[in-house]
């Protein structure tokens, strides 16, 4: 082998070794960068999974809040309906109380009037009795034919014979 060949050989060998070392350094640098990217990717994946779980729990909370809101709205409408019914009931109770009071007043008035009328009727009956005692019986029969006052009858002695002929009274042939 010649020196020239040996020098070129060594030169190429050195160039190849330098190229291999450079490639190795580049490869190790890329591996290091990929490791960092991998770590970042793993961290980002962990954060992403955490955010997905957080979004899921927030969605559940949102659904629960909407359910509570709908229940609250139903309760509000039920409360408004209750208030409306309560006010209607109060109005009807007031009307009922007023009508009951008026009815009691009318019953009291009717009771007073019936007492007054019964007193007037008894006074008039007493007055009628006094007038009947004063008026003669024949006048009473003309005024009120249904009412007959029974007077004690004076009995006349009955004739001894109704068919007896009297001799000289001039009524016979």
Domains in the chain, number: 1
User: What whole-number distance in Å separates Cα of residue 116 and Cα of residue 137?
Assistant: 31
What is the model's pLDDT at position 133?
Answer: 81
What is the model's pLDDT at position 132?
Answer: 78
User: What whole-number distance in Å separates Cα of residue 137 and Cα of residue 152?
Assistant: 12
Mean pLDDT of 89-106: 95
Exposed/middle/buried for 132, CB within 10 Å: 0-12, 13-18, 19+?
middle
pLDDT: which is higher, 109 or 136: 109
Span 134-147, pLDDT tens digits: 876 666 666 665 65
pTM of the model: 0.39
Whether 155 is covered by a domain: the verdict is no
Can you give the residue range of the structural domain that contains 29?
7-108
Whether 154 is covered by a domain: the verdict is no
Whether 61 is covered by a domain: the verdict is yes
Mean pLDDT of 97-101: 96
User: What whole-number distance in Å separates Cα of residue 140 and Cα of residue 121?
Assistant: 20
The band of 129, judged by pLDDT with boundaries at 50, 70 and 90, is confident
Distances (CA, A) of 136 to 132, 133, 142: 8, 8, 10
Terminal CA-CA length for the chain: 223
Whether 83 is covered by a domain: the verdict is yes
Mean pLDDT, the chain, whole residue set: 85
Whether 74 is covered by a domain: the verdict is yes
Q: Where are the alpha helices (DSSP H) in 135-146?
A: 137-143
User: What whole-number distance in Å separates Cα of residue 163 and Cα of residue 172?
Assistant: 12
What is the model's pLDDT at position 33?
Answer: 87
User: What whole-number distance in Å separates Cα of residue 60 and Cα of residue 66?
Assistant: 10
The band of 128, judged by pLDDT with boundaries at 50, 70 and 90, is confident
Q: How many CB atoms lie within 10 A of CB 49?
A: 10
The DSSP H or E segment spanning 61 is helix 3-134
Place of tokens 């330098």: 18
The band of 169, judged by pLDDT with boundaries at 50, 70 and 90, is low
User: What whole-number distance in Å separates Cα of residue 58 and Cα of residue 56?
Assistant: 5
Span 14-61, pLDDT tens digits: 999 999 999 999 999 999 888 888 889 999 999 999 999 999 999 999
Whether 55 is covered by a domain: the verdict is yes
Whether 65 is covered by a domain: the verdict is yes
Whether 148 is covered by a domain: the verdict is no
């Amino acid at each position: 082998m010649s020196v020239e060949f040996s020098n070129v050989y060594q030169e190429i060998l050195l160039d190849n070794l330098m190229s291999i070392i450079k490639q190795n350094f580049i490869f190790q640098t890329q591996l290091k960068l990929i490791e960092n990217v991998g770590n970042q990717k793993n961290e980002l994946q962990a954060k992403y999974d955490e955010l997905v779980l957080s979004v899921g729990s927030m969605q559940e909370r949102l659904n629960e809040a909407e359910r509570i809101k709908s229940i609250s709205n139903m309760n509000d409408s039920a409360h408004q309906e209750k208030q409306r019914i309560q006010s209607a009931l109060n109005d009807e109770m007031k009307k009922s109380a007023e009508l009951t009071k008026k009815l009691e007043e009318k019953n009291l008035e009717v009771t007073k009037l019936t007492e007054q009328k019964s007193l007037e009727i008894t006074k008039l009956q007493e007055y009628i009795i006094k007038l009947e005692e004063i008026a003669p019986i024949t006048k009473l029969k003309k005024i009120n034919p249904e009412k007959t006052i029974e007077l004690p009858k004076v009995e006349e002695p009955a004739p001894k014979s109704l068919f007896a002929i009297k001799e000289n009274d001039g009524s016979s042939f």
